Amino acid sequence: MTALSVIGCGYLGAVHAACMAKLGHDVVGIDVDEAKIASLQAGRAPFFEPGFPELLAESLATGRLSFTTDMAPAQGRSVHFVCVGTPQRAGEFAADLRYVDASVDSLAPFLSPGDLVVGKSTVPVGTAARLTEVVQAVQPEANLAWNPEFLREGFAVKDTLTPDRLVYGLPAGAAGDRAKQQLDEVYATPLSTGTPLVTADLATAELVKAAANSFLATKISFINAMAEVCEATGADVTLLADAIGHDPRIGRRFLNAGLGFGGGCLPKDIRAFMARAGELGADQALTFLREIDAINMRRRVRMVDLAREVCGGSIVGARIAVLGAAFKPDSDDIRDSPALNVSAQMQLQGATVVVTDPEAVTNARKQWPGLRFADTVDEAAAGADLVLLLTEWREYVEIDPTELGRIVGEKRMLDGRNALQPSVWRSAGWTYRALGRP
Ligand code: UDX
């Protein structure tokens, strides 16, 4: 058992803290947000994440997990994870590192010789080397490692307890050997069950995360580019994805064409990566990511164009129901949500848009006061001229078209996620349209 601190208790940090307690460690979660800490300490999850409320309750009950806004309880613990956010800087592509810097600055005075600071946040390459200097200026005998996190929202608990792989970015020499030993102790359980481990230098570990997210974004934009060509020719992108996905070198996962990627990671991470490459004089290497971003943003515009087309050329005065506000299913996260972006564009073009979502309505209401929200599908769809499926929650994918047909004004369905069976909807009398499908 190791005594750990986890600094930053958002999606990443709160889940990491609870999972580390589940693995048997003694963990304190630290965050400056008093409301978040009060909620976590009371066993209430401040965000929607399947399996997390149960894990939080279980870990708190063992007495091995606690939360505080005070940095002092980090003292006397030997491993300190930095899990704070690195959002996109306003008006720029680059990442905003103010939370990472503030965390390390306030942690440093509480470090003892031999302690290990472990960065998990997604940062521009070179940050870890810089932070090592900040740490060692205060505690020369502490070390810093980088251990990027690959968890997906909606699967955060599973991805943390049983990761695909572990990556350690380590300092050179004896400090690196000691850091590896400390991390091996923390991750003894996943390592004992065969989780692959890649050890590297600090810069490589930082780059692994940027490269992984860039590759995933590229896969999604690639298939969405194919969807554009399919639309021009009457071909079906879902069959195309199935066919190319059978090639194990390509693989079918992350080839779902539709409205494209959003969320708090992929969009800002590819932009921050481009910005960092520019600073390093390697901007040419990543110019393709501009195109990946552009293809992705075009999907949202295309969705609005399709809505206009299906409504006979104009959506002025149309009553439109939108199913989904979260950037993906099984999440209440609305950061850079394609669904809300499309909703707002349609509203701006004169439609009356009513959005519903199983979990994200509370968050969406706060940030998008100009849009209308409904708590149920029936309320959102009552009398609608058009229905858009923009986040593929299971309960929306399983909607019975005949029942929904009784509520709406016009039976028109736009499937922004290629999640519905066209034949089922058409045989129930609906006009069904999707991106990249005839
Ligand atoms: C992502 C990475 O997957 C994860 O490894 C990293 O740690 C953080 O960023 P996340 O943002 O939780 O995770 O969501 P993800 O499941 O990757 O989906 C991102 C977006 O891509 C969503 O908007 C989703 O709807 C979209 N997507 C995903 C597609 O449009 N098509 C696909 O085939 C897959």
Residue 317 region, left (φ>0) first, then alpha (ψ -120 to 50), else beta? left
Residue whose CA lies nearest to ligand 1 atom number 17: 152
Ligand 1 centroid, distance to 296 Cα (angstroms): 13
Is 150 annotated in some ligand binding site? Answer: yes
Ligand 1 centroid, distance to 113 Cα (angstroms): 39
Q: In sequence order, what are the beta bridge partners of 436?
A: none
- Whether 265 is catalytic is yes
Closest CA to 183 of 193, 168, 171: 168
Given a contact cutoff of 8 angstroms between Cβ atoms, the answer to whether 417 and 390 are in contact is yes
Q: Where are the alpha helices (DSSP H) in 260-372?
A: 266-279, 287-310, 338-348, 361-367
- Please, which pLDDT band fits residue 171 given cuts at 50, 70 and 90? very high
Measured between alpha carbons, how far is 381 from 354 in angstroms, rounded to an integer?
Answer: 8
Q: Do the bridges between strand 143-146 and strand 116-119 make them parallel or antiparallel, or are there none, so unpaired?
A: parallel
Measured between alpha carbons, how far is 205 from 186 in angstroms, rounded to an integer?
Answer: 18
Q: Is the dihedral of CA 41, 45, 51, 54 positive or negative?
A: positive
Query: What is the model's pLDDT at position 412?
Result: 98
Residue whose CA lies nearest to ligand 1 atom number 31: 256
Report the complex ipTM.
Answer: 0.97
- Please, which pLDDT band fits residue 366 given cuts at 50, 70 and 90? very high
Query: What is the model's pLDDT at position 252?
Result: 98
Q: Which of 166, 265, 336 to mutate to test the pocket of ligand 1 (most atoms within 8 A of CB)?
A: 265
Question: Dmax of the chain from CA atoms?
Answer: 72
Residue % of the chain over a pLDDT of 70: 100
Residue 150 gets which letter from DSSP? Answer: -
- Please, which pLDDT band fits residue 422 given cuts at 50, 70 and 90? very high
Mean pLDDT of the chain: 97
Is 328 annotated in some ligand binding site? Answer: yes
Residues in the chain: 438
- Please, which pLDDT band fits residue 397 given cuts at 50, 70 and 90? very high
- Please, which pLDDT band fits residue 417 given cuts at 50, 70 and 90? very high
- Domains of the chain, start order: 3-195 (3.40.50.720), 210-293 (1.10.1040.10), 299-434 (3.40.50.720)
Q: Is the dihedral of CA 402, 404, 408, 411 positive or negative?
A: negative
pLDDT of 235-281, one tens digit each?
Answer: 999 999 999 999 999 999 999 999 999 999 999 999 999 999 999 99
Q: Where are the alpha helices (DSSP H) in 108-201?
A: 127-138, 156-161, 173-186, 188-192
Number of helical H runs and strand E runs in the chain: 18, 14
Residue whose CA lies nearest to ligand 1 atom number 14: 152
- Please, which pLDDT band fits residue 16 given cuts at 50, 70 and 90? very high
For ligand 1, residues with CB inside 6 Å are: 149-153, 213, 216, 220, 254-256, 258, 260-263, 265-266, 327-328
**pTM of the predicted protein model:** 0.96
Residue whose CA lies nearest to ligand 1 atom number 9: 265
pLDDT of 211-224, one tens digit each?
Answer: 999 999 999 999 99
Ligand 1 centroid, distance to 374 Cα (angstroms): 26
